[in-house]
Amino acid sequence: MTYVNAPIHDLLIRIKNAYMARKTVVKWVVFSNFKIKILELLKQYGFVKDFEIIRDGNKGFITVFLKSVDNPVDDIPEIKFYSKPSRPWYISYKDIKLVAGGKWIGIISTSQWLMPAHVAKKKKVWWELIAEIY
């Protein structure tokens, strides 16, 4: 295992690369509660099929199960990162735009944990825009 400075970016890029390689499983993702919350959002909006937490002593790993790619244009997600470890991207609820007209998902980290952009806009909460996935 290597040390990753941006673990959320690593998770999302590994999922995208697996889709591009037509894989159905991403293994040995290092466990964190933040990654679990992101995977729950991705599962809720249909970007991943399921995920499983594997405990190995004190360490935890995540296995992510992906959908099969039938149409590469529609099935492979595009990811646009905003926040980085060196530069967080804060946004007001007034400035939140619906990603692809509300068709896809923007991930926002708020004081109420993680939520999609359209839910944060309705609740009038703001904080850090992590990424948009479409």
Same domain, 69 and 107: no
Q: What is the pTM of this model?
A: 0.85
The domain of 57 spans 1-75
Mean pLDDT of 56-68: 91
Same domain, 70 and 83: no
Torsion sign across C-alpha atoms 21, 25, 27, 30: positive
Q: Is 78 helix (H, G, I), strand (E, B) or coil?
A: coil
What would the two tokens of residue 112 be?
Answer: 């109420």
Decide: residue 74, CB within 10 A, 0-12 exposed, 13-18 middle, 19+ buried: exposed
Domains: count for the chain: 2
Q: What is the pLDDT of residues 69-89, one digit of tens each?
A: 887 767 778 888 888 888 888
The pLDDT of residue 99 is 64
Q: What is the pLDDT of residues 112-128, one digit of tens each?
A: 888 888 888 888 887 88
Same domain, 69 and 100: no
Q: Is 95 helix (H, G, I), strand (E, B) or coil?
A: helix
The pLDDT of residue 1 is 43
What CATH number should be reported for the domain holding residue 110? Answer: 3.30.1490.10
Q: Are 103 and 133 in contact (CB under 8 A)?
A: no
Last residue of a domain, one of 51, 75, 99: 75
Q: Is the pLDDT of residue 4 over 50?
A: yes
The pLDDT of residue 102 is 56
Distance CA 7, CA 53 (A): 16
Q: Are 69 and 19 in contact (CB under 8 A)?
A: yes
> At residue 20, what is the residue type?
M
Same domain, 84 and 68: no
Q: What is the pLDDT of residues 95-107, one digit of tens each?
A: 777 766 556 788 8
Same domain, 71 and 82: no
Residue 96: DSSP 8-state: -
Mean pLDDT of 13-28: 91
